Chain A
Amino acid sequence: AQSVTQLGSHVSVSEGALVLLRCNYSSSVPPYLFWYVQYPNQGLQLLLKYTTGATLVKGINGFEAEFKKSETSFHLTKPSAHMSDAAEYFCAVSLAISNFGNEKLTFGTGTRLTIIP
């Protein structure tokens, strides 16, 4: 079975500062990893994904994440925080490509990012 652990349910950073949201995964096989963002009263939006290939993944809104197998981590970073980045961020994992709709996406518990003006 797969799982993800997000360290820190709340993270606050100053506007313009580095954003670092932590995610560690547990998987018996090479995982597929995702970061989703949820703004208040909205659904989830994909920020970026890692499936295979390059371990540094770039996403939307200036975010990126690096897959580190040795550390079982997939931390999300952004060099300079913007007020519009305030939201809930979810790390997620699945074990295989879903060809038949029978591969589950398991979400972490989420990290609420607050930006301090």
Chain B
Amino acid sequence: DTEVTQTPKHLVMGMTNKKSLKCEQHMGHRAMYWYKQKAKKPPELMFVYSYEKLSINESVPSRFSPECPNSSLLNLHLHALQPEDSALYLCASSRLGGPGANVLTFGAGSRLTVL
């Protein structure tokens, strides 16, 4: 199993809604990432969890709230988003240490539209 699975694939929400994006991997990776990708732009790092603890927060607004319940799951809770938050949200995972470190395995993404 070499996949990162993201749900939902598409999400439309209003600015007052609360929703969550989910990510799951079963590769035994101990680092998990959230990236935001706007159209025709590279992915931008939002958060990194290592050993289920938040290790990097790239000054992301508090309306995005990450959660790592266990080593296989990563959530991104969304509340009071703005239309400019519409983007493709990518989850990724990687090993920590050793030759496989720094090699990210990406999910297919969740395309978010904020109305």
Contacts and interface: CB of A to CB of B under 8 A. Distances in A.
Interface of A: 32, 34, 36, 41-46, 49, 51, 90, 94, 97-105, 107-110
A114 to B, nearest CB: 14
A105 B45 contact: yes
B31 A101 contact: yes
Interface string B37-63: 000111101001111000110000000
A12 to B, nearest CB: 16
Chain B contact patch, size range: 20 to 34
B2 to A, nearest CB: 11
B31 A44 contact: no
B27 interface: no
A42 B37 CA distance: 11
B50 to A, nearest CB: 3
